[in-house]
């Protein structure tokens, strides 16, 4: 129950009747319902029938395939590769999935979801490979360059800077020890087990520190946004 624990632990007592707190709890509960609905949908889809329709070239099969996986594939590709030529990449992925099904390469229709994921991962690997090779050939760049185009426009940069400032405010309010714990985890990427052992922490104390930092980050953000609604507009625009 980590997710719900996070919701309630961070705001227990103080501010529990605050309309914003109620809104945020309601939103989290709605998200949980959506999450469970996604699992229910995947259990209810007749994969055999769907694969058969695609195999026969039935358009309804292709539509359903797109409806089920379109957004997820787009998100995955965008997360790994950035926005550049995203529509083309999504389209290519669907073409590969559909052609493979038509050739009868998917022997177990129940594994369609795993098959789609495998195709997407292969696509990502292929795009990265291609990008690294073409960049090395054309520009003689290091192999360590990021493939995803994650450049932000000026508005997004300003919004990100504001969030970093909110976070600095939160971090400065913490004890040296708490900051060290967060630094070890987020910056040095030490495991939870190592941190807990070396800093004499229980798993619960470790999780509580992280969830408090997240909750406080959200509170500072909201407080600043209330003071300056213009920031709010800028943040909302940049998060689209």
Binding residues (CB under 8 A) for other proteins: these are: 1-4, 6, 29-32, 34-42, 68-69, 71-73, 75-76, 113-114, 116-117, 120-121, 160, 163-164, 166-169, 171-174, 176, 178-179, 182-183, 186-187, 189, 207, 212-214, 216-217
Least Cβ distance, residue 12 to other proteins (angstroms): 14
Least Cβ distance, residue 168 to other proteins (angstroms): 5
Q: Other C-beta atoms within 10 Å of 211: how many?
A: 16
Nearer to other proteins, 14 or 137 (CB): 14
Least Cβ distance, residue 185 to other proteins (angstroms): 9
Nearer to other proteins, 85 or 180 (CB): 180
Nearer to other proteins, 72 or 82 (CB): 72
The rounded distance, in Å, linking the Cα atoms of 138 and 170 is: 44
The pair of three-digit structure tokens given for residue 55, joined into one six-digit string? 């195999």
Q: Which residues of 31-64 are buried (b: 16+ CB within 10 A; e: fewer)?
A: eeeeeeeeeeeeeebeeeebbebbbeeeeebbeb
Least Cβ distance, residue 230 to other proteins (angstroms): 20
Least Cβ distance, residue 210 to other proteins (angstroms): 8
Least Cβ distance, residue 69 to other proteins (angstroms): 6
Spell out the alpha helix ranges (H) of the chain. 2-11, 19-44, 47-56, 59-81, 86-102, 112-139, 154-172, 176-182, 192-198, 203-227, 229-238
Nearer to other proteins, 86 or 136 (CB): 86
Nearer to other proteins, 113 or 132 (CB): 113
Nearest to 8 by CA among 219, 226, 212, 217: 212
Nearer to other proteins, 137 or 189 (CB): 189
The helix/strand/coil state of 1 is: coil
The rounded distance, in Å, linking the Cα atoms of 216 and 120 is: 37
């Amino acid at each position: 129950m980590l997710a719900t624990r996070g919701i309630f632990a961070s705001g227990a007592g103080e501010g529990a009747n605050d309309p914003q707190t109620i809104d945020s709890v309601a939103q989290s509960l709605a998200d949980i319902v959506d999450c469970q609905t996604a699992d229910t949908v995947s259990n209810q889809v007749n994969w055999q029938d769907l694969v058969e329709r695609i195999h026969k070239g039935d358009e309804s099969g292709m539509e359903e395939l797109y409806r089920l996986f379109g957004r997820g594939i787009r998100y995955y590709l965008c997360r790994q590769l950035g926005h550049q030529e995203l529509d083309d990449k999504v389209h290519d992925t669907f073409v590969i999935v559909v052609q493979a099904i038509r050739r009868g390469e998917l022997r177990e229709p129940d594994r369609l979801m795993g098959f789609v994921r495998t195709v997407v991962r292969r696509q990502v690997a292929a795009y990265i490979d291609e990008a690294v090779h073409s960049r090395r050939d054309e520009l003689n760049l290091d192999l360590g360059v990021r493939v995803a185009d994650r450049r932000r426009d000026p508005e997004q940069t300003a919004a990100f800077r504001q969030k970093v400032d909110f976070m600095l405010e939160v971090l400065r309010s913490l004890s040296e020890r708490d900051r060290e714990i967060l630094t070890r985890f987020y910056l040095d990427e030490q495991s939870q087990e190592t941190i807990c052992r070396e800093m004499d922490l229980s798993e619960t104390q470790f999780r509580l520190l992280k969830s408090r930092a997240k909750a406080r980050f959200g509170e500072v953000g909201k407080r600043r946004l209330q003071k300056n609604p213009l920031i709010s507009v800028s943040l909302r625009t940049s998060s689209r």
